Structure 1
Amino acid sequence: MAPRRWRPNLPFRDYRFEYEDWVPAMAATIGKIVMVAAVVAAFAGPLGLSNDFVIENVRYEMLIAALLFVVLFSGFLIPTANLAGTHGPLIPLIPLIVASGGHPMALGIMVGVLGFLLGVLRGGSLLARLTSDGVCGGLLLYLGFIGMTSQIKSLFAWANGFDMGYLAFVVVLATIVLYAYLEHLRARWLAIPLGCAMAALIAFALGAPFEFHTEPGIPNLNPMYWWGENSGWQLGLPQLEHFVAVAPFAVLAVAMWSPDFLGHRIFQQLNYPHKAQKVLMNIDDTMCVAAARQAVGTALGGGNLASSWGTYMVPAAIAKRPIPAGAILTGLLCVVAALWGYPMDLAIWPPVLSVALMVGVFLPLLEAGMQMTREGKTSQSAAIVIFSSALVNPVFGWSLTVLLDNLGLIGDKERGKGLGHLQRWIIPLVMFAVLCGVMAAIGMFPGVPALVESFRSLGA
């Protein structure tokens, strides 16, 4: 395959479809429904909006993603740009954003503008070059372990809710055995569809509650409805103070893109053949597409926060398939799920959801992280990034460890000597200082009051 950047890439001429492409397409569709629902619900709760609003907005967002970006950009115009997915790590901060006077439209537009600037200036690829294998490996290990344990806890919480905790144990144990057997057959790219089907059958057989309730239909396609004062979000259009309130969160969101995007590209490199360099994900192009998708989707009324689509890239890399063919199929499945409605209920059913994320994203991340930290030099950096990420969050851990690693204090001492002053300490130090300032302003340091709230209290 010879990707044509910003020129039409046509199916069957520039790339072909294989049956393996259905695997990342199915995983991406399940992940999309789940993650967008989580983002919109996190906004809807503090704003007092109903579950019906959440489902309607998720269906609308899936149509926006599928028709305007997944198929058009990753499928035709930029086949080395990963699909624009959902910014999962920002979800816990959404209630704080709303409490700070933030507006979903103000946040989305500001994230889009900042992300586009970073992509155009090639800041994403620069940060990728400054991040060593040890830092990447530690980051993948941390994200994989945290994600895995969170899904197991949520699955047990769901099962204990109707006094069937053993159901979660059976599902997870069966998933482990299935994944190990697929690994033995060298067919782990089948883990998502087979794992989800197995989890659903086990849960049904043991009597877990489930019912379809989302009926077929078309969501409201009028942006004025979504941004009306008495309809949709019921907020109207944002004012200047709304943009000021979301500015620290927008900076943090875009800063969190770099480790996320880098992890997806590294995972691709570890699984793709060595001669497949031309089809590897381009970090800067992916940032530009994610930023454009964020700005346009928000302007149209969607509530998604964009990032690189991990539930697509990870299984696509395992199946050793390039981006565009699976992107076309993903767009098709997203449209079907949004219009049909019923698949959305099955995708967000806890056993299906948790198993899809465990075998499709978090377990492969753990494996990739272990591969990158085999040597003693890389394990030092990996340990520090895990330690510091556990203290605050992955953004803090990544930025601090990049600084220490490039200075030669940890990891490969010779690597730092080959860098100039700008790359060795100026850029990492400025990046770390800016991110720490943003995180301190919004209260992300444990035990340290938010500077924004402290200043407000002094002003009052």
Structure 2
Amino acid sequence: MNNNDPSYREQHRPSREFPTRAQYLEHELEILAPRRWRANLPFRDYRFEFEDWVPAMAATIGKIVMVAAIVGAFAGPLGLSSEFVIENARYEMIIAAVLFVILFSGFLIPTANLAGTHGPLIPMIPLIVASGGHPMALGILVGVFGLALALLRGGSLLARLTSDGVCGGLLLYLGFIGVIAQIKVLFSWADGFGMGHIAFIVVFATIVMYALLEHWRLRWLAIPLGCIMAACIALALGAPFEFTTEPGIPNMNPAYWWGEETGWQVGLPELHHFIAVAPFAILAVAMWSPDFLGHRIFQQLNYPPKARKALMNIDDTMRVASIRQLVGTTLGGGNLASSWGTFMVPAAIAKRPIPAGAVLTGVLCIVAAVWGYPMDLAVWPPVLSVALLVGVFLPLLEAGMQMTREGKTSQSAAIVVFSSALVNPVFGWSLTMLLDNMGFIGDRERGQGLCRLDRWVIPSVMFVGLCAVMLAIGMLPGIPAMLASFRVLD
């Protein structure tokens, strides 16, 4: 921040001076002047508003679910119990809340989105374990590779080389597959106890509620209202539910978690463990760029044009996520970090900046981890699926449609969706970025305005390198893994 610029406190005006609440919130975004790597204090540099509770609630629900999913994906192949999964998830939430969510995003570096969980990597975890991978080795390498990319400012470079059409296509693809997946989860849950109609009623009520909130311009209330509505409908119709997680504090000793007979029961990793997980770690960090870019673009679509300083910084977010990964893994956590989507998407919809919501998210995560009972409610399928539907996937679909209205952008978006469906979003993003920047599709004038390095050298290296990694670990459909260490998967 320039010392001559007026501070946030000097420019702040009470909400009663604005004709509408939306205008007040937009003004708050426009006057935000974050101090990077210096203390940002409430009321001097930002304020708490009741809208901040929306992303905080959504982020806490998402955190419980995603961390439990990551740890559970490791625990299954390693033969660990469900009790271990809950305890490690609670441990991870306390680490994230105290050391990173509140300290970093809330006070020291409010230009960084919260360090969340790397959801797209979950399906690959059984492959990692089967190939001889070690959770600590994977976490350390993801942190090291991510920090290297952040220090070289690679995240912002790749964001600059990705056009609106490619971004819009990614948002459409991620939003669509997310909606389909959550609806399937709901019906699978309801069919499990012979009451499939509950899933239909919950989804139908969610559609009506979301449409009404859109009409009333109250979409930022979708997550809390949707969760309450889904829980009430499911309970009223006889869906089974009970609290099982009791209050308590998990074991805070890292030696316990990385013991040979305690915690993960795998001991400390050796060199061959790092070699086995290296390709997966490279791919995990490569997935960061489109994920981080999508979150920043979503902010831009919902924030006023003058709110540039309130936007998340991709490189700062990568630095925080990498440091969080290294520290969390060393302490014994099983989480794999990424940009926190279940926080950023609802925060952007509610027109709120990062720091205030980050502090409230940290507080709620600590309460949920220590209290225990909220974890049971958050992972209950009707609550979880509705929160993800209205808080993440439907907004992603809307943002993707908004970015692909023009014919030039729709061409690139279609190729992203097509190629992502063939392999995964990393393949679709890297291939379409190359084709788009070379002028084969999309806005050809944009491609002609790029230098040779940006137009085809960097995109080509990215695409070929990522394909080589995916080929090595067997992620290209119909082609077996090429590395000898992965033959166990054949």
Identify which of 6, 12, 15 aligns with 2:46: 15
SS in 2 for 1:207: coil
Task: Write the letter of the residue equivalent to 1:73.
Answer: F
Aligned to 1:191: 222
What RMSD over aligned residues (CA atoms) do the two structures have, in Å?
0.8
CA spacing shift, 1:456–1:32, aligned 2, 3 Å: closer
* Equivalent position amino acid for 1:450 in 2: A
The structural deviation recorded for 1:10 is 0.4
Q: State whether structure 2 residue 450 is matched by structure 1 residue 416.
A: no
- 2:49 maps to 1:37: no
Taking the aligned partners of 2:334 and 2:240, their CA distance within structure 1 comes to 29
One-letter identity of the residue aligned with 1:318: I
Query: CA shift at 1:452, angstroms?
Result: 1.5
Aligned match for 1:250, one of 281, 285, 297 = 281
C-alpha displacement of 1:455: 8.1
Q: Output aligned runs, 1:279-318, within 5 Å.
A: 279-318=310-349
Hey, what's the Cα distance between the residues in 2 that align with 1:97 and 1:11?
A: 43
- The code of the aligned residue for 2:280 comes to F
- 1:386-439 deviation digits (Å, cap 9, x = unpaired): 000000000000000000000000000000110001000000000000000000
Q: Which residue of 1 aligns with 2:209?
A: 178
Q: How does 1:85-100 map to 2 (within 5 A)?
A: 85-100=116-131
Q: What per-residue deviation string (whole Å, max 9, x for no partner) do you get for residues 95-153 of structure 1?
A: 00000000000000000000011111100000000000000000000000000000000
Describe how 1:46-125 pairs up with structure 2 within 5 A: 46-125=77-156
| Unmatched runs of 5 consecutive residues or more in structure 1 | none
TM-score (norm 2): 0.93
1:355 to 386, 401, 418: 386
Shift of 1:12: 1.1
Q: Which amino acid is 1:428 matched to?
A: P
Aligned residues: 457
The residue that corresponds to 1:204 in the other structure is 235
* 1:301-380 correspondence runs (5 A): 301-380=332-411
CA distance in structure 2 between the aligned counterparts of 1:308 and 1:453, rounded to whole angstroms: 33
1:214 aligns with 2:245: yes
In the alignment, the residues of structure 1 paired with residue 36 and residue 152 of structure 2 have an alpha-carbon distance, to the nearest angstrom, of 17
Distance 1:443 1:135 in 2: 25
Quick one: distance in 2 between partners of 1:307 and 1:415?
30
TM-score of the aligned structures, taking structure 1 as reference length? 0.99
Does 2:258 align with 1:227?
yes
Alignment partners' CA distance in 1, 2:93 and 2:280: 24
Partners of 2:347 and 2:88 lie apart in 1 by 27
Cα deviation, residue 275, structure 1: 1.0
Which residue is 2:295 aligned to? 264
The residue identity in structure 2 corresponding to 1:323 is: I
Q: Secondary structure at the match of 1:220?
A: coil
Q: Counterpart in 1 of 2:271?
A: 240
Q: Deviations over 1:199-223 (max 9, x none)?
A: 0000000000000010000000000
In structure 2, how many angstroms separate the alpha carbons of the residues matched to 1:455 and 1:233?
Answer: 23
Q: Hey, what's the Cα distance between the residues in 2 that align with 1:330 and 1:455? A: 39
SS in 1 for 2:483: helix
SS of aligned partner of 1:451: coil
Aligned mates of 1:73, 1:421 — CA distance in 2: 38
CA gap of 1:84–1:392, structure 2 versus 1, over 3 A, is: same
Give, in angstroms, the shift of residue 456 of structure 1.
Answer: 5.3
Q: Which runs of 5+ in 2 are unaligned?
A: 1-31
Query: 2:466 and 2:297 mapped to 1: Cα distance?
Result: 23
| Match status 1:276 vs 2:307 | yes
**Deviating 4+ runs (over 3 angstroms):** 453-457
Which amino acid in 2 is paired with 1:248?
P
Contact 2:434 2:456 (8 Å CA) reproduced: yes
Whole-Å separation in 2 of the counterparts to 1:75 and 1:102: 34
Deviation of 1:454 after TM superposition, in Å, equals 8.5
Tell me, yes or no, if the aligned pair for 2:138 and 2:274 is still in contact at 8 Å: yes
> Matches of 2:438 and 2:119 in 1, distance apart?
31
Q: What is the rounded CA distance, in whole Å, between the counterparts of 2:388 and 2:119 in structure 1?
A: 12
Identical counterparts, % of pairs: 82
